[in-house]
């Protein structure tokens, strides 16, 4: 009888002042890991105390402005055959936790093609303060505990196989997803991540001024701190040096071009047109199946009132988004509701009403509390014959989109109806409210309107 080998998985992390996250960060691994290694780099809060209470092995590492050095020290403390290395602001979804060991077991048994798989890639999904999904991408967070596999780079560290460089990775994004909360505005304000990252990246650029990866990440850090012009300078430099250097990683060039399009779409001045079109074309040449280039170019076109052209690119980006299976981070996943709504508005302006309704509905399917999409959708419906008197079609649609017994959803529908100047629909919404609740809501809205008119 063949004895099945037990998978020994060590969970590792480096931390500093993570008392708000550490309990959740350690909880997902309970029951599937053989040990939890926590390397503290100088916490002054209760991080270490909580981690110790939860049974983690605590180690200390003097911070030297080098994430790779700290992570490699943590790896050296691990005794498992495999390592799951997540940050304190990251955690596996509940469904993924149940699949981690079976996926590793299959790798051990050679069930996947390729030579020797030494790492497993997962989906990394950023979520905001309300738990809504944002930017998504592929990241390596599980790998074999072997001496030659270690991190490199002071910041935005990556795994490297000594003597080989590249290594075989299993793409398990369909099974394994990690949620990441660390890039919310609140998290950056509380931890000072932007300032720290800028300082460390500037150190890297002192040694290598044409380091494309460092320039890209410095631009990211400036964006987080709302220094948009500085961010643009970094991304433009990254594209300049990146196209001149043969060893530039394609993902760095793509990220630079993507972020520039996002920045130009954020402030869509008409005089930028030549620059924006050039960046978009360069991006598409580099990665024609990636959705971000068409999305943010489409947004720029929309904001500049090129509605017909914008519709073509927004639709193309949404089609690519559904099909995309590559490893390059996708930013438009955080702006799907906007892309659908702008495409709907483009269709509306071209009198393509059925398409407009479809795209506004899809926008609300992503986020049913997206006011702009709801108002534009109701403005279409109320023009239909009989709707101004009965709101029958609008009510049927809202009944599918919203929970009619939820006060939050009722208030959202009321807001949409008021902004769309649709009084019959307002009365239908009030009709599903209990009498006392209706009275309180109407009094509150009347008071708000009175204060606004002063």
- pLDDT surpassing 70 at residue 244: yes
CA angle 172/175/179 to nearest 5° reads 95
Q: What is the pLDDT of residue 3?
A: 41
pLDDT of residue 41 exceeding 90 = yes
Mean pLDDT of 192-210: 86
117 forms beta bridges with 168
Q: Give the contacts of 191 (CB within 8 A, at least 6 positions apart).
A: 17
- Indicate whether this model's pTM tops 0.85: no
Distance between CA atoms of residues 71 and 85, nearest Å: 9
The secondary structure of the chain in percent helix, strand, coil, rounded to multiples of 5, reads 55, 15, 30
State the number of CA atoms in the 13 A half-sphere of 217 facing the CB.
23
Give pLDDT, residue 113.
67
pLDDT of residue 191 exceeding 60, the answer is no
Spatial contact of 339 and 331, defined as CB atoms under 8 Å apart:
no
Neighbours of 384 (CB within 10 A): 13
> pLDDT tens digits for 369-403?
999 999 999 999 999 999 989 999 999 999 999 99
Task: Sketch out the chain's domains with CATH numbers.
Answer: 9-183 (3.90.550.10), 368-445 (no CATH)
- Is residue 25 within 8 Å of residue 18, measured between CB atoms? yes
171 - beta bridge partners?
A: 121
Q: What tokens does 395 get?
A: 């009510």
CB environment 158-175: b (16+ within 10 A), e (fewer): ebbbeeeeebebbebbeb
- Output the DSSP codes for 211-233: -HHHHHHHHHHHHHTT-HHHHHH
Measuring CA to CA, which residue among 320, 318, 388, 370 is closest to residue 346?
Answer: 318
């Amino acid at each position: 009888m063949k004895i099945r080998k037990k998978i020994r998985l060590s969970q590792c992390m480096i931390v500093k002042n993570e008392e708000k996250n550490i309990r959740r960060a350690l909880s997902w691994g309970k029951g599937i890991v053989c040990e939890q290694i926590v390397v503290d780099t100088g916490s002054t809060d209760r991080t270490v105390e909580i981690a110790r209470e939860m049974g983690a092995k605590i180690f200390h590492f003097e911070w030297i402005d080098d994430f790779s050095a700290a992570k490699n020290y943590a790896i050296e403390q691990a005794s498992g055959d495999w390592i799951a290395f997540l940050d304190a602001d990251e955690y596996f979804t509940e469904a993924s936790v149940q699949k981690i060991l079976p996926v590793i077991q299959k790798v051990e048994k050679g069930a996947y093609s390729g030579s020797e798989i030494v790492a497993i890639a997962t989906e990394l999904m950023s979520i905001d303060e309300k738990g809504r999904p944002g930017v998504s991408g592929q990241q390596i967070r599980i790998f074999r505990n072997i001496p030659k596999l270690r991190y490199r780079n002071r910041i935005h560290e990556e795994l490297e196989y000594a003597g080989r460089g590249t290594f075989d990775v299993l793409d398990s994004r369909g099974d394994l997803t990690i949620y990441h909360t660390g890039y919310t505005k609140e998290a950056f304000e509380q931890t000072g991540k932007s300032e720290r990252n800028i300082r460390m990246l500037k150190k890297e650029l002192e040694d290598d001024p044409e380091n494309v990866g460092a320039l890209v990440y410095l631009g990211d850090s400036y964006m987080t701190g709302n220094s948009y012009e500085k961010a643009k300078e970094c991304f433009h430099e990254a594209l300049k040096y990146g196209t001149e250097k043969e060893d530039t990683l394609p993902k760095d060039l793509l990220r630079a071009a993507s972020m520039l399009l996002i920045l130009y779409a954020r402030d869509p001045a008409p005089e930028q047109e030549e620059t924006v079109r050039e960046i978009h074309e360069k991006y598409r040449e580099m990665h024609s199946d990636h959705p971000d280039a068409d999305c943010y170019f489409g947004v720029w076109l929309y904001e500049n009132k090129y509605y017909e052209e914008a519709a073509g690119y927004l639709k193309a980006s949404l089609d690519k988004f559904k099909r995309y299976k590559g490893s390059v981070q996708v930013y438009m996943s955080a702006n799907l509701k906007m892309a659908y709504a702008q495409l709907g508005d483009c269709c509306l302006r071209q009198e393509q009403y059925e398409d407009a309704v479809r795209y506004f509905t899809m926008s609300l399917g992503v986020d049913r509390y997206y006011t702009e999409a709801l108002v534009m959708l109701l403005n279409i419906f109320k023009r239909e014959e009989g709707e101004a008197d009965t709101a029958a079609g609008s009510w049927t649609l809202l009944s599918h989109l919203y929970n009619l017994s939820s006060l939050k959803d009722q208030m959202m529908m009321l807001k949409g109806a008021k902004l769309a100047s649709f009084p019959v629909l307002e009365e239908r919404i009030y009709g599903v409210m209990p009498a006392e609740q209706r009275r309180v809501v109407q009094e509150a809205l009347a008071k708000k309107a009175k204060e606004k008119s002063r």
